[in-house]
């Protein structure tokens, strides 16, 4: 086998490695994609508009908030601002993942940031933590199925929305919190994991009860990150460099 064939094979296996990791995400987000499509049409979107929003925004929770406000005839700028608020946590993801993908060509980075969702960030961080390089092929193997299924399923939801059965009995409204808990647990070997989780959980619950959603996400996250910044570096496992 020539060297070229070997490297082509490893690119292929990188891609499929990413696809394999995307499967729980595809399963967990499917109900929300269908639900988004159904709700969008219910709130006055056309099927084409529901499709466009999923294809260009690609952020489940923010899309739900957006169409909810749209249905209540809230001012357009306020809808956009709310979507921005729900998605604000990505600023932290973006700052974190930049260290892992800085070696990619600029165009690939631009595409990579477009598909930077919660699971995309968490799974890529896990790979980096294991000491492996986060390559573009692997990253897109992870992100592409999630994106394609999200767009296709929201469109299907928009077309066939009325046919969705009782989602509660099937438990699909609570699948994402379960998946996110798994991701939180997978970082438990990191320094300061427990203090950060406790700080974020406490702050997000207090903010949820007082300020309200969606700000509890940014406020809770900031509390955990600030704790890690404030604690002396010897606790956080990051050596002070001369």
Partner 1 sequence: MSTTLWIIIAASIATYLTRIGGHLVISRFDHIHPRVEAGLNAVPAAVLTTLVAPAALSAGPAEWAALIVAGLVSLRGGLMAMFLAGAAVLILARQFVG
Which CB, 7 or 234, lies closer to partner 1? 234
Q: Which of 172, 164, 144, 167 has the alpha carbon at shortest distance from 41?
A: 164
Which residues, 6+ apart, have CB-to-CB distance to 54 below 8 Å? 33, 36, 37, 63, 150, 151, 154, 155
Which CB, 5 or 102, lies closer to partner 1? 102
Which CB, 11 or 64, lies closer to partner 1? 64
Which CB, 87 or 155, lies closer to partner 1? 87
As measured in angstroms, the least distance from the Cβ of 5 to partner 1 is: 31
The C-alpha atoms of residue 213 and residue 85 are separated, in whole angstroms, by 10
As measured in angstroms, the least distance from the Cβ of 128 to partner 1 is: 10
SS3 210: helix
Which residues, 6+ apart, have CB-to-CB distance to 175 below 8 Å? 27, 28, 31
As measured in angstroms, the least distance from the Cβ of 21 to partner 1 is: 8
Which CB, 101 or 156, lies closer to partner 1? 101
The C-alpha atoms of residue 135 and residue 16 are separated, in whole angstroms, by 13
Which CB, 9 or 99, lies closer to partner 1? 99
Residue 215 exposure: Cα atoms within 13 Å on the Cβ side = 8
As measured in angstroms, the least distance from the Cβ of 206 to partner 1 is: 10
Task: Decide: residue 74, CB within 10 A, 0-12 exposed, 13-18 middle, 19+ buried.
Answer: middle
Residue 15 exposure: Cα atoms within 13 Å on the Cβ side = 9
As measured in angstroms, the least distance from the Cβ of 156 to partner 1 is: 19
As measured in angstroms, the least distance from the Cβ of 79 to partner 1 is: 6
């Amino acid at each position: 086998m020539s060297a070229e064939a070997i490297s082509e094979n490893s690119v292929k296996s990188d891609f499929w490695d990413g696809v394999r990791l995307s499967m729980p995400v595809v399963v967990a987000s499917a109900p929300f994609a269908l639900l988004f499509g159904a709700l969008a049409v219910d709130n006055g979107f056309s099927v084409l508009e529901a499709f466009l929003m999923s294809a260009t925004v690609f952020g489940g929770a923010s899309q739900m908030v957006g169409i909810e406000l749209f249905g209540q005839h809230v001012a357009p700028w306020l809808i956009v601002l709310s979507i921005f608020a729900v998605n604000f946590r990505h600023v932290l993801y973006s700052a974190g993942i930049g260290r892992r993908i800085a070696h990619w060509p600029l165009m690939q980075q631009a595409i990579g940031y477009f598909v930077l969702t919660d699971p995309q960030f968490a799974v890529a961080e896990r790979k980096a933590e294991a000491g492996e390089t986060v390559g573009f092929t692997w990253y897109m193997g992870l992100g592409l199925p999630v994106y394609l299924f999200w767009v296709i399923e929201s469109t299907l939801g928009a077309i066939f929305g009325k046919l969705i059965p009782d989602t509660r009995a099937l438990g699909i409204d609570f699948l994402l919190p379960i998946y996110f808990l798994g991701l939180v647990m997978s970082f438990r070997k990191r320094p300061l994991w427990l203090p950060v989780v406790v700080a974020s959980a406490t702050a997000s619950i207090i903010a949820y009860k007082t300020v309200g959603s969606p700000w509890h996400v940014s406020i809770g996250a900031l509390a955990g990150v600030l704790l890690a910044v404030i604690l002396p570096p010897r606790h956080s496992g990051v050596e002070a460099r001369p």
